[in-house]
Each structure stands twice: as structure tokens, then as C-alpha cells.
């Protein structure tokens, strides 16, 4: 029995030693991972993988667990349906006095706590100044594991894991100060554009008035009911009519219907058409798109990228309709 007792003590001692070594190894790995992510982030911001003018000194982002690659559970506050298949989800931050702080044109990764294999990127649409919460606009897809879980199962108080990686940080204000930005969006692809529009035209900071960049938003949807954030976007256009123009391209509509723009020449609607080379020429003109200081931003479903600029993952070349305008990879940003 004495020998058994000694053996038990020795086994326990060895177990604690192994546990200590395992914990120390994990700490070292976490430190190395965070250092790698920081280096990768600086490269993603200051490099020119898409030829952009990102600068580590201009990124409007702060630190925080979900911003440093650590999946963080954040509870749902409310869910507001805005169309037959789309809702705005409001999530609470740990500190009610803090902002989300992810930077402009950035998205978060979201995952189900019980199934990390179900992960999707979402771009917040709430103002970067709001404290204590952030909003996501999410469309429900019949076969979408994440969107169905959010719409059908998530209740107030239920958590979703959120975090950010460097790849999810795209163009940063002032976006290289181009003369023109042409935004091509389809469906919920409006969300990163809306983030940038808030920074350009809806921000209460004075520096947003320092730019003279002109923006053309060409927004493709099936019907007028599928146009998200219409009231907010058109409000910005009325505030900056000389710098901001909107064109809705509604493929399944036969009548343009009323606009909240009060017959504003800066807000137009094309019906029965799809976004293609002819529409781009009609709205912008080939001369504008061929200018060196013109930038084109694109966000939408895979077919949208394929038709207009080539697959999203191919950042080193421009395909689709934009290829005919002679645009170079550093002029086209695929969100």
C-alpha cells in the first residue's frame, strides 16, 4: 500500500509537470500567433495585394478580443425584420461604453457556438460611433446554415461567436483619395458600400468633408422591395448631390415606381435589366471608367463577380465586363 501511495504521488507530480509544460506551450503558441497576426495585418493594410493605397497609419481600428482573432461570444439584443427574407440583428458588446471599432470597409466572422464549422463573414451597418452594440443585415437563404440559424433559432440573449482576421480588413478611409469611386453592389453586397458611404457622407467628423471624391453607386436587385437601406442611402445623396449619384438596376421590375428622392436627377432607376457592360457605359460612360484615378468596388454573389470582374479570389487580374474598360487590378477592389 505504501508503494501504491508513492506511485500515486509520483503519477500526480508527473501529471502536474506535463500540465504545466502543456500550458506554457499554449501560451507561447498564442504569443507567436498574435505576433504573426499583427505582422500579417500590417502587411494586409500597407501592402498592395490589390494595388490599393492602404496605410497602417490610417486604419481606424482599435484592439479588442474579437478584433485580435479571438472568437468572442456576444449576445443577441434584438431582431427586426425588414423584408420577407431579411432582418437586422443587433448584438451587444461586452462594454456598453465601447464602440465596435473594426474600421471602415471591414467585416466580422460569425460562427455558431456549438458548430465552428458554420462560419460566415458579415459587415456591420451600424455607425462606427454607436456604443454598446452593432447591427448586422442578414438575408435568409433556404440552404444557408448560418442565415437559417440566425433567422429561425436565435433568440434574444443567445450568443454568436465573433472575431476578425486581417483578410477581412479592406479599403481604409480616405481610400487613397481617388477622383471617382464606382460602387457595384448586388443584394446584401450593399453593406460594405454602406459602411464607406457613412464615412464619406454620413459621418459627423469634419475630415469627411475634406475629400472631393465623387461616388457612383450602381445597386442591382430583383425588385424594389429588395433594395436595402434605401432611405438612409438616398438621404446621403440629397445632402451631397454633386458628389453622390445612385442608380438602381431592378431586373424583375417593369415599372420604376416612386423614389424617395423626390425626382432627384441624382437618383435613377433602370428596370428589366441586369448589370452588365452596357449598363456601366450608360451610367458612367466608358471615358470615366478608363480614367487612372477611377476606382471600382464590387460586392455581391459569386455570379456577380464572374460577370463583372472575374472570380472574387482572383485579385491579380480583372475579368468580366470591366476588362473591356482597361481597368487594372489596383483599380478594382473585390470585397
| 182 touches 299 (CB < 8 A) | no
Helix (H, G, I), strand (E, B) or coil at 212: coil
137 is in an annotated binding site: yes
CB count within 10 Å of CB 244 equals 23
Length of the chain: 335
178 is in an annotated binding site: no
147 is in an annotated binding site: yes
146 is in an annotated binding site: yes
79 is in an annotated binding site: no
CA–CA distances in Å: residue 25 to residues 12, 21, 31, 36, 173: 20, 6, 10, 16, 39
139 is in an annotated binding site: yes
Query: Which triple of cell numbers denotes residue 153?
Result: 433559432
94 is in an annotated binding site: no
Cβ burial of 242 (10 Å; 0-12, 13-18, 19+) is exposed
Helix (H, G, I), strand (E, B) or coil at 239: helix
216 is in an annotated binding site: no
Bond preceding residue 30 cis, omega within 30 of 0:
no
DSSP label at residue 244: E
Beta strand pairing call for 294-299 and 332-334:
parallel
Binding site, by residue number, is: 120-122, 137, 139, 146-147, 191
Binding site for FAD, by residue number, is: 120-122, 137, 139, 146-147, 191
Amino acid at each position: 500500500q505504501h508503494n501504491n501511495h508513492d506511485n500515486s504521488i509520483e503519477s500526480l507530480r508527473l501529471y502536474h509537470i506535463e500540465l504545466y509544460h502543456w500550458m506554457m506551450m499554449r501560451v507561447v503558441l498564442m504569443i507567436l500567433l498574435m505576433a504573426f497576426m499583427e505582422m500579417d495585418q500590417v502587411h494586409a493594410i500597407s501592402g498592395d495585394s490589390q494595388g490599393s493605397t492602404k496605410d497602417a497609419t490610417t486604419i481606424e481600428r482599435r484592439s479588442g478580443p474579437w478584433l485580435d482573432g479571438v472568437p468572442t461570444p456576444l449576445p443577441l439584443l434584438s431582431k427586426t425584420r425588414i423584408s420577407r427574407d431579411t432582418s437586422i440583428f443587433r448584438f451587444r458588446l461586452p462594454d456598453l461604453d465601447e464602440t465596435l471599432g473594426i474600421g471602415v470597409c471591414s467585416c466580422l466572422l460569425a460562427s455558431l457556438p456549438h458548430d465552428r464549422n458554420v462560419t460566415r463573414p458579415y459587415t456591420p451597418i451600424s455607425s462606427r460611433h454607436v456604443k454598446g452594440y452593432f447591427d448586422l443585415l442578414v438575408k435568409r437563404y433556404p440552404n444557408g446554415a448560418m442565415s437559417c440559424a440566425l433567422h429561425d433559432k436565435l433568440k434574444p440573449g443567445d450568443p454568436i461567436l465573433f472575431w476578425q482576421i486581417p483578410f477581412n480588413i479592406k479599403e481604409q478611409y480616405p481610400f487613397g483619395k481617388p477622383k471617382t469611386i464606382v460602387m457595384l453592389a448586388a443584394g446584401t453586397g450593399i453593406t460594405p458600400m454602406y459602411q464607406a458611404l457613412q464615412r464619406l457622407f454620413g459621418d459627423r467628423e469634419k475630415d469627411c468633408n475634406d475629400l472631393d471624391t465623387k461616388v457612383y453607386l450602381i445597386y442591382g436587385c430583383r425588385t424594389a422591395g429588395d433594395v436595402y437601406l434605401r432611405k438612409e442611402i438616398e438621404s446621403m445623396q440629397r445632402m451631397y448631390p454633386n458628389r453622390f449619384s445612385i442608380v438602381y438596376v431592378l431586373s424583375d421590375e417593369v415599372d420604376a415606381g416612386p423614389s424617395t428622392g423626390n425626382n432627384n436627377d441624382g437618383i435613377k432607376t433602370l428596370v428589366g435589366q441586369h448589370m452588365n457592360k452596357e449598363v456601366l457605359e450608360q451610367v458612367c460612360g466608358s471615358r470615366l471608367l478608363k480614367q487612372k484615378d477611377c476606382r471600382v468596388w464590387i460586392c455581391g454573389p459569386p455570379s456577380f463577380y464572374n460577370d463583372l470582374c472575374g472570380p472574387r479570389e482572383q485579385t491579380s487580374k480583372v475579368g468580366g465586363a470591366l476588362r473591356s474598360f482597361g481597368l487594372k487590378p489596383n483599380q478594382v477592389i473585390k470585397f
